[in-house]
Amino acid sequence: MKTPQPQTRFHNLDAIDDWSTQHADEIYQISRWGEGYFSVNDKGDLCINPTRTQNGPVINMMEIVEEMKNKNIPFPTVIRFHDILRSQVAVLNKTFRGTIEEAKFTGSYYGVYPIKVNQMREVVEEIVDAGGPYNYGLEAGSKPELMAALAMNVNQNSLTVVNGYKDVDLLRMALLGNQLGRKVIVVVEKYSELLDLMKLSAEVGVEPMIGLRAKISTKSSGKWASSGGDYAKFGLTITEILQAVKYLKSLDKAHCLKLLHFHIGSQIPDIKTIKDSISEGARIYAKLYKEGAKLEFFDVGGGIGVNYDGTRSNSPSSINYTTQDYVADVVYILKQICDIEDVPHPNIVSESGRAITAHHSCVITNVFGALEIGAANNFNTDKAINENILVTNMRDLSTELTEKNYQEVYNDALKLKEESVSAFKFGILTLDERAKLETLYWKICHRIVEHASKDEYAQDEIMALKSQMASQYMCNLSIFQSAPDTWAIGQILPVLPLHKLHEKPTELCTLVDITCDSDGKLDTFLSADGPTNTVPLHKLKDGEDYFIGLFMTGAYQDIMGDNHNCFGRLNEVHIFCDDDDPTDFYIEEVIYGNQASQVLSTLQYNPETMAQTVKALVDTQVKRGKIRPREGVDLTDFYESCLKSYTYLKK
């Protein structure tokens, strides 16, 4: 369910006279959500700082765009910065290691990346490689994910954690991992899984590594609050956990119990929730250890959030803490409770996929047009003989409008417009008169918005009018494919142009995609003052390309898209930095998106049969003399070439 629309706010662009790239950074909150990976150069181009080092490589996004053009890689495109991915893996592991050493914590850190956040092979492969020195493993929540994890996670010292509901085949697959010498831990989500696992273990002759997921009382806030609490989908109650320990003792298999796990949300916005959950989980761990469950691992689940909206607050699209804050709370709270309870410090496991992947991926698209609501036009609104009084009154309002009476004029104009619709329905107003009246009305509204933009006390309905009249920039992408969370749960993603950031944007816009669905739009954006209904962009110029980016799409957005309107997956460009290259980067790989035939095939169409059918129809028209033979060949070739083409719009 989508979150309520935010209050409409104005970007205070009119107050900025001497525009600079610093203003662009503030308007689009680049430094706040970018975490040091993104910046603006003097030319006004967005740049990537993939290593976040002072003298490290800096990649100009527009140079990537130009190289893509030269290589004939069409837009829209997903761009992956693998160095950012590697950087985030290193940051998380080094932060845990440093904090553990500082706190004199005797356990170690064994992080795992949850594949569900982004299952793309290239992403998982890069994370596993970057995490090798830290024994950073993988988490799987389904049979296919576990199959991928067993093939990808070849580090014998790292963990493979198996979450989610499990059938016998999935349990057998986990035991196969143990037979291969891997540390595969099966986390029991419901009590019956433990019974199935131990029965299968006896049949196969392999001892399992077992984890128990606790259904803790602490709940998060925001979109994933239901992940925790008494009514959560997954996990065992305290009663069931004690029964599980007793059952394993009865089989003389208590030593197989290795891990305690809990999870309260994918994006935890408030650090207080983290403190509370660690405190509760640590107490459970300590009490279980005293009950004879000699646990080795304490799995805090996911939850390191991402500062999507730049506010650094406890809003659903942000977080009021840093990674360092999170890690410090996990380590120090766990250490304190273990010391009080006089139990050993366990090894710490976390499943922080969103924080690892969000920044590394973005969607780049070209804007190919604008829909200006009520745009002024050249329709003749001069007074005509015997014209309807409604038209005359609207014209008079246009003459009377000033910066002091704009609210009163708006009220009168709105009433006249409503009356004109009724008059037209009853045949009192002609089509020409209605066109005149509406033209005058929209001209009045444009002038009212101009006056309101300079008035800090403008009424809410005028602010709403400004939002409603914002230009709709048409973007060559599908929101349902490339940013599904913006539609499904109201997630805010950073949106900004890749260039012209040294120029003041003059158009307040919403974005619409190329799907035929009215929900295919973006109308919630970040700003310095919180969520807003419009984003400032530059006026489009004929014959000039304009590129914008949707950023922080690496977590879930890459993998959750669907085939709405048969658009399919986007082209992907994988970027690596190279300090020796003049551009500081090279395109390591291009993975082309779906052709029309591929998408249709997944929906049970047969493209070959379709082409044959169309050819037969064309041949029939040729025989009837409706189409000339040469033209018939061209039409058939055109249809077949479209089947082999990219599903998105050509420039």
504-541 tens-digit pLDDT: 998 889 999 998 888 899 999 998 888 888 999 999 99
Residue 209 carries which DSSP code? E
pLDDT band at 6 (very low <50, low <70, confident <90, very high): very low
Residues 6 or more apart whose Cβ sits within 8 Å of residue 228 = 215, 216, 217, 218, 219, 220, 262, 263, 264, 265, 277
Residue-level pLDDT at 222: 56
Both tokens of residue 252?
Answer: 């003389």
For the ranges 63-67, 300-304, 316-320, 455-459, the maximum mean pLDDT occurs at 63-67
Residues 569-578 as b/e (b if ≥16 CB within 10 A, e otherwise) read bbbbbbbbbe
pLDDT band at 12 (very low <50, low <70, confident <90, very high): low
Assess whether 607 and 588 both reside in one domain: no
Task: Give the distance, in angstroms, between the CA of residue 379 and the centroid of all CA atoms in the same chain.
Answer: 43
In three-state secondary structure terms, 106 is: coil
Does any domain span residue 328?
A: no
Does any domain span residue 236?
A: no
Residue 256 carries which DSSP code? G
Q: Tally the domains of the chain.
A: 3
How much is the mean pLDDT over the chain? 91
Residue-level pLDDT at 2: 45
Report whether pLDDT(651) > 80.
Answer: no
Assess whether 487 and 576 both reside in one domain: yes
Does any domain span residue 327?
A: no
- Give the residue among 422, 335, 428, 436 at the shortest CA–CA distance from 103: 335
Assess whether 517 and 622 both reside in one domain: no
Give the pLDDT confidence of 27-48 residue by residue, as tens digits.
999 999 999 999 999 999 999 9
Residue 312 carries which DSSP code? -
CATH number of the CATH domain containing 430: 1.20.58.930
The length of the chain, given as a count of residues: 651
Residue-level pLDDT at 561: 77
Instruction: Give the Cα separation of 395 and 444 in Å (integer).
Output: 9
Give the pLDDT confidence of 363-388 residue by residue, as tens digits.
999 999 998 877 656 788 899 999 99
Residue-level pLDDT at 1: 38
Residue-level pLDDT at 302: 87
Residue-level pLDDT at 4: 41
633-642 CB contacts, 8 Å cutoff, 24+ apart: 636/611, 639/611, 639/614, 639/615, 640/611, 642/596
Does any domain span residue 32?
A: yes
pLDDT band at 8 (very low <50, low <70, confident <90, very high): very low
pLDDT band at 7 (very low <50, low <70, confident <90, very high): very low
Report whether pLDDT(5) > 60.
Answer: no
Instruction: Give the Cα separation of 553 and 559 in Å (integer).
Output: 10
Residue-level pLDDT at 228: 55
Both tokens of residue 77?
Answer: 């495109």
Give the pLDDT confidence of 342-361 residue by residue, as tens digits.
999 999 999 999 999 999 99
Instruction: Give the Cα separation of 222 and 217 in Å (integer).
Output: 16
Residue-level pLDDT at 220: 58
Assess whether 536 and 475 both reside in one domain: yes
What is the SS3 assignment for 589-642? Answer: EEECCCEHHHHHHHCCCCHHHHHHHHHHHHHHHHHCCCCCHHHHHHHHHHHHHH
- Give the residue among 614, 610, 612, 617 at the shortest CA–CA distance from 596: 610
The residue from 466, 491, 510 where one domain ends is: 466
Domain span at 612: 603-643
Residue-level pLDDT at 233: 67
Residue-level pLDDT at 3: 43
Both tokens of residue 47?
Answer: 């740049």
Give the pLDDT confidence of 292-334 residue by residue, as tens digits.
999 999 999 987 999 999 888 888 889 999 999 999 999 999 9
Give the pLDDT confidence of 568-612 residue by residue, as tens digits.
899 999 999 998 899 999 999 999 999 999 999 998 999 999 999
Instruction: Give the Cα separation of 350 and 100 in Å (integer).
Output: 14
471-475 and 507-512 as β-strands: parallel, antiparallel, unpaired? parallel
- Give the residue among 471, 455, 468, 470 at the shortest CA–CA distance from 406: 455
Residue-level pLDDT at 225: 52
Assess whether 452 and 548 both reside in one domain: no
Report whether pLDDT(281) > 90.
Answer: yes
Q: What number is the average pLDDT over the span 278-285?
A: 96
Does any domain span residue 336?
A: no
Does any domain span residue 253?
A: no
Residue-level pLDDT at 489: 86
Of the listed ranges 234-243, 340-349, 451-460, 627-636, the least confidently predicted one is 451-460
Residue-level pLDDT at 494: 96
Assess whether 454 and 499 both reside in one domain: no
Residues 78-105 as b/e (b if ≥16 CB within 10 A, e otherwise) read bbbbbbbbbbbbbbbbebbeebbeebeb
Assess whether 575 and 627 both reside in one domain: no
The DSSP bridge partners found for residue 361 are: 80
Assess whether 495 and 576 both reside in one domain: yes
Residue-level pLDDT at 452: 83
Report whether pLDDT(448) > 80.
Answer: yes
Instruction: Give the Cα separation of 567 and 297 in Å (integer).
Output: 44
Assess whether 49 and 26 both reside in one domain: yes
CATH number of the CATH domain containing 367: 2.40.37.10
Does any domain span residue 170?
A: no
Assess whether 452 and 575 both reside in one domain: no
Does any domain span residue 334?
A: no
Residue-level pLDDT at 264: 86
Which has the higher per-residue pLDDT, 448 or 375? 448
Which has the higher per-residue pLDDT, 457 or 93? 93
Residue-level pLDDT at 474: 94
Instruction: Give me the sign of the Cα torsion angle 36, 42, 48, 54.
Output: negative
Residue-level pLDDT at 43: 96
Assess whether 535 and 458 both reside in one domain: no
Residue-level pLDDT at 525: 93
pLDDT above 90 coverage of the chain, percent: 77
Assess whether 365 and 502 both reside in one domain: yes
> The tokens 């991992």 sit on which residue?
177
Give the pLDDT confidence of 205-240 residue by residue, as tens digits.
999 999 999 998 876 555 555 555 565 667 899 999
